[in-house]
Amino acid sequence: MSDSKDLMAPDGAVNPINTDYKVGQDNIVMKVGPFGLDIHNRVFAISGLAVVAFVILTLAFQNDVAPLFTSMRNWLTSNLDWFFLSAANVFILVCLGIAVSPLGRVRLGGTEAQPDYSYLGWFSMLFAAGMGIGLMFYGVSEPLSHYSSSVGGTDWAPLGGAAGDPEAAAKLGMAATIFHWGLHPWGIYAIIALGLAIFSFNKGLPLTIRSIFYPLLGERVWGWPGHIIDILAILATLFGLATSLGFGASQAAAGLNFLFDFPANDTSKVLLIIGITAVALMSVVAGLDAGVKRLSEINMLLAVTLLLFVIVVGPTLLILTGVLDNLMAYIQYLPALSNPVGREDANFTQGWTAFYWAWWISWSPFVGMFIARVSRGRTVREFIVSVLLVPSLACVLWMSVFGGVAIEQVVSEGYKAAAEAELPLQLFLMLEALPLAQITSFVAIILVIVFFVTSSDSGSLVIDVISAGGKVDAPTPQRVFWCVFEGLVAIALILGGGLAALQAMSVSTGFPFTIVLLVATIAVIKGLASEPRA
């Protein structure tokens, strides 16, 4: 998940070359109301009141809502798993179709636009977009979970499992993990990023989700249809972000308990969320963008250092050969894993894939806005190929290293502590079996916390931009509001059902936004078709 800071378009980036698109900005002008909040077009008021009501009701009835969240998650994933799998397949196919068609020659920003960043810088930022709390939380736990289920022959194991065959189980486990972090999620991000880039840089429309729908809605995009689209985008992004923050708090608490015997209960998680949100809030109020950006860059350096350390001190040759083996296994099993019909591994498709796809979709406005921001000047073809491949390969490497080492510890060394522990603790128990475990575990905690801070701060900025109709200069109190309530929503979900509640709200908000994105693919194609080609 992205933790990137510099999300807005650079000065002079908007270069509308198609005057058929009229910007109805009269309907989205700044209207500063009480407490310095931008109350334009009811988007902020409705989405803000909905979030406030959710927090109050969840905290007031936290003992009663936990079963509700669990039931809601189970119903949505068991009845709509085919829908989520099919939608993700559509996004990938649309991306590939655009890339190989003449539309791939369209240049983001107009025919004369030049890239804002070199290939090296651009690829680095695409790599950064793939890093975050999710990889820290699931880097060890997901491969281990799939491996254990496959080798045990349980009925939900992907592709029927590999009972009693550790080598085949490891292969299946890594393929299933990479499936959740590879082409499909980045196809989701690519669609919305491409839409934002085209309609902002080429058409001169505001940098917000409703702008993508101008070819379908025309001037109505500035009225209630556009309001509903932006409200759904805000709620999806906020609950997707809260899910990540909840995972981060759970893992940080587990790590602190592992190192310092810090209690890993709900109170500790709430205190962590409050403390880390306060740091993000200071950045919002004081305008410490440069400081947080620098902190984010340091965090990326720490992540790469931790990755290299595990490669060097772990079974190096096995890891390096495993990267290619895992990539080939992913390609081999990709058709079966992405098949939405006739599956006999319901627990895998419903418990893992449906949740993941809803989570990625709920995050797509956040990551998509960052990707759009850094991709001006690229052709659509190189944009799609790079967005699909660069971060996907980075995720393959990360999962192969951390997940591969954890599985190898179980298979060859008989070290089962990580496999038998709860998900938030598994990373630290894997590191315990390697040299300098105290240091690397502490570094891992720092990584989780800083990803938490930068995600919260950046996420509040993206939500603020959407709620302000694409304006990047919305009042600071409004961004403060979103930053505070991101933390409060995460707290409410932790207390109202834990990981089940976090997953439930990601799926619940991801479902309607999936419909929004499916319609957006049509608008993106229509927008590209009206553009001159480089």
- What's the mean pLDDT in 301-324? 92
Which of residues 470 and 116 earns the better pLDDT score?
A: 116
Confidence band, pLDDT 50/70/90 cuts, at residue 242: confident
Q: Is the pLDDT of residue 290 over 80?
A: no
Closest CA to 365 of 527, 202, 509: 509
Residue 527 to residue 213: CA distance in whole angstroms: 9
Residue 374 to residue 189: CA distance in whole angstroms: 14
- What digits encode the pLDDT tens for the residues 322-380? 999 999 999 999 998 999 988 878 888 888 999 899 989 988 998 898 888 889 999 99
- What digits encode the pLDDT tens for the residues 476-500? 788 888 889 988 998 988 888 777 7
- In the chain the domains, ranked by start, together with CATH numbers, are 25-529 (1.20.1740)
Beta bridge partners of 379: 107
Reported as half-sphere exposure (CB side, CA atoms, 13 A), residue 328 has a value of 5
What residues have CB less than 8 Å from 266, skipping those under 6 apart?
494, 495, 498
- What's the mean pLDDT in 162-168? 76
Across all residues in the chain, what is the average pLDDT?
Answer: 84
Residues above pLDDT 70, as percent of the chain: 86
Q: Is the pLDDT of residue 11 over 50?
A: no
Q: Is the pLDDT of residue 468 over 50?
A: yes
Both structure tokens of 145: 């979970």
pLDDT value at residue 15: 38
Confidence band, pLDDT 50/70/90 cuts, at residue 416: confident
- What's the mean pLDDT in 32-46? 66
What secondary structure does DSSP assign to 47-102, as a single string? HHHHHHHHHHHHHHTHHHHHHHHHHHHHHHHHHHHHHHHHHHHHHHHHHHHHHHSG
Residue 504 to residue 73: CA distance in whole angstroms: 4
